[in-house]
């Protein structure tokens, strides 16, 4: 290929790229490109060993229902998935729930799913602060499946709450914003006046999450 042809091809490529860039706002591609080239990671743990473990492990993406043993999940679903039922059916279910010992036990269950223990996982939810650092960054918190838990609504069952204790602190918290946390999941009870958790997550990184993380219950 002659040098003249090469120059012509290069000019055409630049010309085509220029036309494409002028069209980006019309197709909202500028937003897509910014997402493509920008990181959604808001926090990375200073624990090098933990970061290396996650870098060399397969990460399991968990939904909140996967933290519930099947017996707890069945009874909670029976009484809490009633939004499509008639008012009379909902009233009947509510009355049954008050006398169903299995349901009452599930509301305070500390039973965990052993298969997810000591696994590298990611899970999305909302933060409920427990402790703040002097700079107002959050150090300890609960991760919960829906906005308002422990504040506007009663706390979820302990096996639907995850306790997190960061080495340093996370400064980008918004109560109404959901986040995706990645780390190593352990079992262990932690009690606070806001609630009790049956799981502990050693967090390696935190990302912003823009969908609804709660897939198993309504309020």
For residue range 198-219, what is the model confidence (pLDDT) as tens digits?
999 999 999 999 776 665 454 4
Name residue, tokens 């996982």.
121
- Are 180 and 164 contacting, i.e. CB atoms less than 8 angstroms apart? no
DSSP state of 138: E
d(CA 96, CA 167): 45
What is the per-residue pLDDT across 42-92, written as a single tens digit (0 to 9) for each? 999 999 999 999 999 999 999 999 999 999 999 988 887 656 677 777 788
Residue 92 confidence (pLDDT)? 83
d(CA 64, CA 106): 15
């Amino acid at each position: 290929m002659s040098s003249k042809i090469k120059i012509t091809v290069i000019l055409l490529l630049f010309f085509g790229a220029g036309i494409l860039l002028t069209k980006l706002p019309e197709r909202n591609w500028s937003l897509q490109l910014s997402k493509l080239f920008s990181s959604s990671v808001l926090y990375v743990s200073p624990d090098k060993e933990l970061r290396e473990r996650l870098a060399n492990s397969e990460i399991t993406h968990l939904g909140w229902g996967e933290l519930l043993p099947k017996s707890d999940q069945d009874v909670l679903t029976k009484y809490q998935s009633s939004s499509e039922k008639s008012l009379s059916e909902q009233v009947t279910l509510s009355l049954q729930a008050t006398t169903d010992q299995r349901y009452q036990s599930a509301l305070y269950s500390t039973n965990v799913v052993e298969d997810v223990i000591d696994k590298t996982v990611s899970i999305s939810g909302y933060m409920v602060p427990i402790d703040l650092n002097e700079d107002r960054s959050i150090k300890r918190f609960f991760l919960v499946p829906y906005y308002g838990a422990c504040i506007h609504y009663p706390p979820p069952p302990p096996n639907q709450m995850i306790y997190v204790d960061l080495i340093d602190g996370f400064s980008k918290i918004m109560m109404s914003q959901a986040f995706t946390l990645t780390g190593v999941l352990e079992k262990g009870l932690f009690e606070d006046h806001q609630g009790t958790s049956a799981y502990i997550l050693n967090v390696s990184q935190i990302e912003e999450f823009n969908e609804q993380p709660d897939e198993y219950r309504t309020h």
